Structure 1
Amino acid sequence: MPPLPRLSLAAWSAAALVALVPTWWAWEERLAPEGLPYIVGLVRPYPRFSGTPVLTPLLTHLGAVATAAVTWALPAVLVLAGFVGRLRQANPEAAARRVAWGLVTLAAVRSVSADFTILVLSPEWFADVAGQWGPDQLCYLLAATLVLLAPPGRPSHPAPALQPLGLRAAALAADYAIFLVAWGLVDLLLDGRYRPRSGLLFSWPGLRLEDLALVALLFLYVWIPRGTTPGKRLLGLRVEGAGPGKAALRALLFPVAVLWPTYGLLWLALDVLWSFVDKEGHLLHDRLLDTSVRCSTSRMT
């Protein structure tokens, strides 16, 4: 392996430090006295829910995932994992692009508003999203730029296509929305009214019988098609190598992750971060179970 150019090492190191800055700010805010928010809460009570079914819960949980990622310095860890992947994978430029897309996505998610008082996709919502852009987003965009500008240091070699991580994330969001709509329709059939739901993230102490039934339905939703869920089909993806047993294990991972407060999100993050280190871009659970997710033939042609 040729020696790594100093400029490349400097760019990746600077990107990791810049990506760490919002985490530093977040912990400074956490450790600061909380008298002011309490006073504001007394003067201005929290309003009642009037958001958008499906979209508001989806954005709420995207925001929760982004907040947890910043709290635990996962953007900086992403840069470090991408740097390792750049050294291990056959196409270092592809590894850099994946890291950059991850940082840009995080910047966008951090700015997306899930305010329960605003109708999603309304002019007021877009104005609120634009107002959310600030130093955090600029840090992630700067880190992404540094990663893309870093010299590769070695030529790319022919290699199998990396796992379609962006498409998998989009498929997961589609499955989430489909499941929330289905859950609401069940309410409509049973109670005669559609109730907007707060989403699928729970905490163990608050579990009820209907929540456990929901988890069982979520498991069947993933297990019956052996991982190739409607969301994956919409995005032209298919799961390979998943028999009934492996499909059951894959289907258990997501419900367990969303039920395990905080640490479940860390497990999901570890699952994704592994793909930046893995030579073929496999997620950790796919590597452990010897399964893979590929684009369907119709999409590749």
Structure 2
Amino acid sequence: MSRPALATWLVAAAVAAFPTWEEWQYRLVPGSFEIIGCAGMGWPETSPLDPLRGDLDALLMDVEAWAIPSLLILGALLACLRGRDPRRVGRRTAGVLVLIAVVKPATPLYSSPEDCGGGIPILSAEWFATVLDSWGSTQVCLIGAAALILLVTWRAGDGTSSSTGVIWRRAVALLVDYAVVLVLLTFVVGPIMWLTDWPSLSLDYGLLNRATISLDDIDLDGLPVLLVVFLYFWGQHRLWGQTLGKRLMGIHVSSAHMALRTLIFPILVFVPFVGPLVLIVNGMWTLLDPEDRALHDRFLNTEVARSA
């Protein structure tokens, strides 16, 4: 790799790290703020997209706080130095940076600027206007870093490296499984809990904010969420080697350690602080892995392959 190309990669990593510097500057010196209370007011407007919004917000806050975009760029640079196709790595890395830049402004819970105006419904005209108005330095930096990566990689390599075609199928399958779990919790588990006088199950802020696993504190309210997630993933992988999402996308898990894989990873996500970071790092690894295998696939020698 030439010196100008290496310098471009490092500049892109520095540019992508700027939002993290801004975030920690605010956290360490937050400045003044104002608290407004409204008697009798709440958040009556709900949307089926609220759980997804809440989980993405939690994940993207960690992404920004721990400089994940910058680390992703450095990981992509190492992958190129180790012989990976620069064009393929560059496209994937730039695509993820742009995706983060676009999705991040859509994940916070926005309220109307008027006093006691309440929450802004997702996908409403006011919501779109607020999201667009929230674009700022983070979007400029991430999209700028993506442009630098494409600039330095678009002529590098021959672009003929083989791809399993699994990575995007895994992402879509995960979204399908996420939606199925939400449906089960909302329309099956929720009514059962109501009939048995169990505390109501609210998923407005997402699954990651609803259930946690801790050795010193048992979260009884979130226990139904943990059980449904565990049984959904472990049961289907144990019986068929694939979940409903994987079945629809034509992929399956193959290994003697498949049961152990599905026992550990879904539940590990709910460990406070560690879980979201594990999910993020796992996604980064899959993005740069030459065989599109996740970190836990490498650790347990499992593989997600296309079904015959």
Scaled to the shorter chain, the TM-score interval is 0.7 to 0.9
Matches within 5 A, 1:111-190: 111-115=105-109, 117-151=119-153, 155-156=157-158, 158-162=160-164, 164-186=166-188, 187-190=190-193
The farther-off stretch of 219-228 and 133-142 is 219-228
Matches within 5 A, 1:238-277: 238-243=251-256, 245-258=257-270, 260-277=271-288
Does the C-alpha gap of structure 1 residues 133 and 271 become closer, same or farther in structure 2, counting only changes over 3 Å? same
Q: How many Å apart are 1:10 and its aligned residue?
A: 1.7
**Per-residue displacement from partner, 1:101-144 (whole Å, max 9, x unpaired)?**
11011112211144261222222221222122111011000001
Determine the C-alpha separation between the residues in 1 that align with 2:40 and 2:149: 41
**Alignment-derived partner of residue 211 in structure 1:** 222
Q: How many Å apart are 1:18 and its aligned residue?
A: 0.4
SS of aligned partner of 1:240: strand
SS of aligned partner of 2:35: helix
The farther-off stretch of 123-132 and 40-49 is 40-49
TM-score computed with the length of structure 1 as normaliser: 0.84
**Alignment-derived partner of residue 6 in structure 1:** 3
SS of aligned partner of 2:259: helix
Matched pairs, number: 288
Q: How many Å apart are 1:8 and its aligned residue?
A: 1.5
**Alignment-derived partner of residue 22 in structure 2:** 25
**Alignment-derived partner of residue 291 in structure 1:** 302
Q: 1:58 aligns with which of 48, 52, 56?
A: 52
SS of aligned partner of 1:7: helix
Matches within 5 A, 1:81-120: 81-115=75-109, 117-120=119-122
Q: How many Å apart are 1:174 and its aligned residue?
A: 2.5
Q: How many Å apart are 1:85 and its aligned residue?
A: 1.5
**Alignment-derived partner of residue 191 in structure 1:** 194
Determine the C-alpha separation between the residues in 2 that align with 1:93 and 1:45: 56
**Per-residue displacement from partner, 1:40-75 (whole Å, max 9, x unpaired)?**
114678962334343112111101111111101111
**Alignment-derived partner of residue 116 in structure 2:** none
- Name the aligned partner's letter for residue 252 of structure 2: V
Determine the C-alpha separation between the residues in 1 that align with 2:302 and 2:181: 24
Contact 1:100 1:147 in 2 (8 A): yes
Unpaired runs of at least 5, structure 2: 111-118
Query: What is the alpha-carbon root mean square deviation over aligned residues?
Result: 2.8
Does the C-alpha gap of structure 1 residues 44 and 72 become closer, same or farther in structure 2, counting only changes over 3 Å? farther
Identity %: 33
Determine the C-alpha separation between the residues in 1 that align with 2:142 and 2:250: 29
Determine the C-alpha separation between the residues in 2 that align with 1:44 and 1:210: 28
SS of aligned partner of 2:305: strand
Contact 1:113 1:125 in 2 (8 A): no
Contact 1:91 1:157 in 2 (8 A): yes
Does the C-alpha gap of structure 1 residues 51 and 175 become closer, same or farther in structure 2, counting only changes over 3 Å? farther
Matched, 1:200 2:207: yes
SS of aligned partner of 2:269: helix
SS of aligned partner of 1:224: helix
Contact 1:51 1:115 in 2 (8 A): no
Determine the C-alpha separation between the residues in 2 that align with 1:229 and 1:91: 31
Q: 1:71 aligns with which of 48, 55, 65?
A: 65
